[in-house]
Amino acid sequence: DGGITQSPKYLFRKEGQNVTLSCEQNLNHDAMYWYRQDPGQGLRLIYYSQIVNDFQKGDIAEGYSVSREKKESFPLTVTSAQKNPTAFYLCASRAPSRGQNEKLFFGSGTQLSVL
């Protein structure tokens, strides 16, 4: 079945440590996105990529980095510069079409907590 796979489901970070969240899709979508979800805050955009080897900062990119070396993969690194990383992270992708087909497909999320 086609879809988006995020791993791990739960992740713990120590002070000063970088951690990487994995996002893989087999939907053949060009565009991929990372959102952060905090209680009461909705979803906020961290980074997005419209094509391989290209990505743009979202609204809250500070303390995060990404890469897009393959169409299927869009990993997110939470660096030590992100002082409040505890949140639920959602990866999504979108087909290059309009109307209902432009809806986002989401992974099941990664809950990141600080030790």
Partner 1 sequence: AQKITQTQPGMFVQEKEAVTLDCTYDTSDQSYGLFWYKQPSSGEMIFLIYQGSYDEQNATEGRYSLNFQKARKSANLVISASQLGDSAMYFCAMRPASGNTPLVFGKGTRLSVIA
Closest distance of CB 16 from partner 1, Å: 28
Alpha-carbon distance of 16 to 55, in angstroms, equals 25
CB of 65 to partner 1, least distance (A): 18
Q: Would you call 11 exposed, middle or buried from its count of C-beta atoms within 10 A (0-12, 13-18, 19+)?
A: middle
Closest alpha carbon to 5 in 72, 88, 87, 68: 72
Minimum CB distance to partner 1 smaller for 84 or for 100: 100
Binding site for partner 1 (CB under 8 A): 31, 33, 35, 40-45, 48, 50, 58, 88, 90, 92, 96, 98-100, 102-109, 111
For partner 1, the closer CB: 15 or 97 = 97
